[in-house]
């Protein structure tokens, strides 16, 4: 089985609580299009050396969040930040670190995920890999003064290449998902319709056969997609 964990976080409390994807990058080795937005927001007081990315795969993190009965308006981000902060303060008390994400919307998380080997493109515009399918997400990115072992890229094939059913294409009620391209405006327009079937879920994503054992619960799916619907509803409907 492909491992998405990295030293020194393997089997740590972070992994046990659902932040089970980790990757350590050397700051100086990052491509310019990733490095530039990072450098623009960091505190220059410290000599940062590494970027560390944490993600979740599967249902465990959601279960951990629910167990806290949090009243936070953003329980997932708050949980993720708290977990990483407590871990570093406990195990690496002299470490200086700064959160890049959550916080900045300029950090190219999907490009970072591709560098790590977590992310392949899918017809429904969400990252996908062999182990977790599309049921993973980026939760935290930090820049740190650490000297952790640099993580090797995960080498895996896109599961979409060998997919014969293309059920994600046929399941899309808006016609936005195609083999050759993804039409974002069709998706957004359909989701905002009064009787849309995709208000609180993505039928294409749910139809994908890859890694169904890691599929989020309906409660978690509805949580994420209700937030995204709220965001896209802030933007005006494009005119024909």
Q: Name the helix (H) or strand (E) containing 14.
A: helix 13-16
Q: What sign results for the dihedral spanned by CA atoms 225, 226, 230, 233? A: positive
What residues does each domain of the chain span?
Answer: 13-144, 167-232
- Read off the DSSP letter of residue 105: S
pTM for the full predicted model? 0.94
Residue range 182-202, pLDDT digits in tens: 999 999 999 999 999 999 999
Q: Is the pLDDT assigned to residue 131 strictly greater than 90?
A: yes
Sheet order of strands, 136-144 included: 21-26, 50-57, 136-144, 97-101
**Residue range 114-126, pLDDT digits in tens:** 999 999 999 999 9
| Strand blocks (E) in the chain | 21-26, 50-57, 97-101, 136-144
Q: How confident is the model at residue 238 (pLDDT cuts 50, 70, 90)?
A: low
- Are the C-beta atoms of residues 118 and 127 closer than 8 Å to each other? yes
CA distance 98 to 50: 11
Distance CA(92)–CA(86), nearest Å, equals: 10
d(CA 175, CA 7): 43
- Residue-level pLDDT at 239: 53
């Amino acid at each position: 089985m492909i491992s998405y964990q990295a030293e020194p976080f393997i089997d740590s409390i972070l992994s046990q609580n659902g932040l089970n994807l980790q990757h350590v990058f050397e700051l100086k080795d990052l491509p310019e299009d990733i490095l530039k937005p990072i450098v623009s927001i960091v505190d220059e007081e410290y000599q940062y050396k590494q970027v560390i990315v944490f993600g979740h795969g599967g249902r465990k993190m959601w279960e951990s969040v629910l167990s806290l009965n949090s009243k936070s308006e953003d329980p997932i981000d708050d949980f993720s930040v708290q977990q990483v902060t407590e871990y570093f303060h406990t195990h690496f008390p002299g470490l200086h670190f700064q959160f890049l994400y959550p916080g900045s919307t300029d950090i190219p998380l999907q490009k970072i995920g591709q560098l790590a080997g977590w992310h392949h493109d899918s017809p429904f515009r969400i990252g996908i890999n062999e182990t977790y399918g599309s049921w993973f997400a980026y939760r935290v990115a930090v820049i740190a003064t650490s000297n952790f072992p640099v993580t090797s890229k995960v080498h895996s094939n896109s599961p979409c290449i060998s997919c014969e059913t293309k059920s994600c294409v046929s399941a899309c009620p808006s016609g936005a998902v195609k083999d050759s391209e993804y039409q974002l405006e069709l998706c957004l327009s359909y989701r905002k319709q009064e009787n849309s079937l995709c208000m609180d879920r993505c039928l294409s994503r749910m139809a994908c056969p890859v890694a169904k054992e890691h599929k989020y619960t309906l409660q978690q799916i509805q949580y994420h997609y209700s937030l995204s619907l709220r965001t896209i509803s802030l933007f005006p409907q494009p005119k024909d």
